[in-house]
Structure 1
Amino acid sequence: MAVALKKLKLSLLLSLFFLVSASSFAKVPPTCRRIECPSYDVIHAGDGYEIRRYNSTVWASPPPFLDTSLVEATRTGFRRLFDYIQGKNDYNQKIEMTAPVVTEVAPSDGPSSESLFVVSFYVPRKNQVNPPPASGIVVGRVKPVYAAVRKFGEFVRDNNVGEQVAALKASIAGTEWSSAIEKSQRGVHGSVYCVAQYNDPFEFDDRVNEIWFLFDVENGRHFVES
């Protein structure tokens, strides 16, 4: 009887271990326990990546602009968005901070070292119906979209993002998702990816960043729609 009970306990412990291991990738970033983040469904968990489906939501972005640095472009774009959420909009309305801040990157395919950037802020749920318009800010609803996602920690730097993009590309190569993702990336500016950052610059612990390859399973759609 004692041996059988020990075996049962071991079986339960092993089951719990595998359950935790399988779900660890899908854990909510710590930031999203404090502030609002867009909801999504995980429709597939792969080796080093997951496929999510995001519902239709409203995002705010400055117009696309060129830069040579992802880090500097994100700072520039977010400064404009920070003014927007602090009340510099047509309603003089303050908007609560959300996460993540998403920087979409379209690298140049020519001799120029500049890339095209779009920095986006998820508009909180309570402002989605009537988001404040503002000069110099594009506020638009995004149609449902899929994302292949890879998580990584530490601070986002210009010299570590490329490795993460390459790792995500390698993870999805040959999968059922690869053709839809490639079609979407070819359809806008070229090889497009997004960097999602969940922490503010002064947080040093529990940092969560993600690389997103956004796509539509039917015909590939761009992330930001005005």
Structure 2
Amino acid sequence: MGVTTTMKISLFLSVFAVSILGIYSEVNFPAPCKQFECPVYDVIEDGKDYQIRRYNSSVWVSTPPIQQISIVTATTTGFTSLFNYKKGNNDYKQKIEMTAPVLSEVLPSDGPFIKSSFIVSFNIPKKNQANPPPAKGLQVQKWKNVYAAVRQFGGYVNDKNVVEQAAALKDSINDTKWLSAIQKSHKASNFSVAQYNNPFQLFNRVNEIWILFNLEN
């Protein structure tokens, strides 16, 4: 049995076990980037139930859009490709250190039981950003400074709670000065889910909803 198959089974069993136990939320969130390198950002505003961040220039490797109904399934599929990339399955045969978070961009479908599109990404470590290795079937993306409205939540990500948390974030920023910039940046229903923990960590998990946007000069 290959590594990627083992990882898929382990992820499935972990999510299934937590679903049975009903462990979905945590009260105290740990700092998410103690173990792995994370993209650098500045906090622009700490609002009520949300945070506005400015992410500095960063480099990401991303999958093509994955057509799926479930974010869990799509993220597992994308994670497998990106994990292999970081283990050296790239044009340079270069191993790259693991980073956080695993970022799944959600482009929702127009109705229930219709496949949505998911783009799964890892950020490239700072030491590799000047010359990130390309790889067949993956795309290297260089971000300029970008803003994000962020809401944090605990437990394991599932198809229900990401929708609820995204809706809660949108409610939080609905009457703020950031709303106009967000509406101009992309389709209002789009959002991303950032996951910081490995699937074997049952408690003190950290996830975030990101709504990315640009600010006009």
TM bucket, shorter chain: 0.7 to 0.9
Q: Which residue of 1 aligns with 2:47?
A: 46
Give the whole-Å Cα distance in 2 for the aligned partners of 1:73 and 1:90.
24
Q: State the Cα distance separating 1:29 from its structure 2 match.
A: 4.8
Secondary structure at the counterpart of residue 159 of structure 2? coil
Q: State the Cα distance separating 1:111 from its structure 2 match.
A: 6.8
Q: Which residue of 2 aligns with 1:168?
A: 169
Q: Which residue of 1 aligns with 2:129?
A: 128
Q: Is the 8 A contact 1:106 1:116 kept in 2?
A: yes
Give the whole-Å Cα distance in 1 for the aligned partners of 2:147 and 2:89.
32
Partner letter of residue 56 of structure 2?
Answer: N
Q: State the Cα distance separating 1:205 from its structure 2 match.
A: 2.3
The yes-or-no answer on 1:97 pairing with 2:95 is no
Secondary structure at the counterpart of residue 196 of structure 1? strand
Q: Is the 8 A contact 1:154 1:207 kept in 2?
A: yes
Give the whole-Å Cα distance in 2 for the aligned partners of 1:37 and 1:28.
16
Q: Which residue of 2 aligns with 1:82?
A: 83
| Pair 111,203 (structure 1): closer, same or farther in 2 beyond 3 Å | closer
Q: Is the 8 A contact 1:36 1:98 kept in 2?
A: yes
Q: Which residue of 2 aligns with 1:71?
A: 72
Q: Which residue of 2 aligns with 1:214?
A: 212
| Pair 60,89 (structure 1): closer, same or farther in 2 beyond 3 Å | same
TM-score by length of 2: 0.83
Secondary structure at the counterpart of residue 117 of structure 1? strand
Q: State the Cα distance separating 1:185 from its structure 2 match.
A: 2.6
| Pair 29,90 (structure 1): closer, same or farther in 2 beyond 3 Å | farther
Secondary structure at the counterpart of residue 33 of structure 2? helix
* Structure 1 residues without counterparts, runs of 5 or longer: 1-26, 220-226
| Pair 58,171 (structure 1): closer, same or farther in 2 beyond 3 Å | same
TM-score by length of 1: 0.80
The one of 191, 196, 199 equivalent to 1:198 is 196
| Pair 95,194 (structure 1): closer, same or farther in 2 beyond 3 Å | same
Structure label with greater radius of gyration: 1
Give the whole-Å Cα distance in 2 for the aligned partners of 1:96 and 1:192.
29
Q: State the Cα distance separating 1:113 from its structure 2 match.
A: 1.5
CA RMSD of aligned residues (A): 1.7
* Structure 2 residues without counterparts, runs of 5 or longer: 1-27
Q: Is the 8 A contact 1:30 1:206 kept in 2?
A: no
Q: Which residue of 2 aligns with 1:9?
A: none
Q: State the Cα distance separating 1:184 from its structure 2 match.
A: 1.6
Q: Is the 8 A contact 2:166 2:209 kept in 1?
A: yes
Q: State the Cα distance separating 1:155 from its structure 2 match.
A: 0.5
Q: Is the 8 A contact 2:89 2:135 kept in 1?
A: yes
Q: State the Cα distance separating 1:132 from its structure 2 match.
A: 0.8
Give the whole-Å Cα distance in 1 for the aligned partners of 2:160 and 2:29.
26
Secondary structure at the counterpart of residue 168 of structure 1? helix
Q: Is the 8 A contact 2:29 2:206 kept in 1?
A: no
Aligned residues: 190
Q: State the Cα distance separating 1:30 from its structure 2 match.
A: 3.4
Q: Is the 8 A contact 1:41 1:52 kept in 2?
A: yes
Greater shift in the superposed pair: 171-180 or 30-39: 30-39
Q: Is the 8 A contact 2:29 2:204 kept in 1?
A: no
* Identity in percent: 60
Off by >6 Å, runs of 4+ in structure 1: none
Q: Which residue of 2 aligns with 1:10?
A: none
Q: Is the 8 A contact 1:29 1:198 kept in 2?
A: no
Secondary structure at the counterpart of residue 159 of structure 1? helix
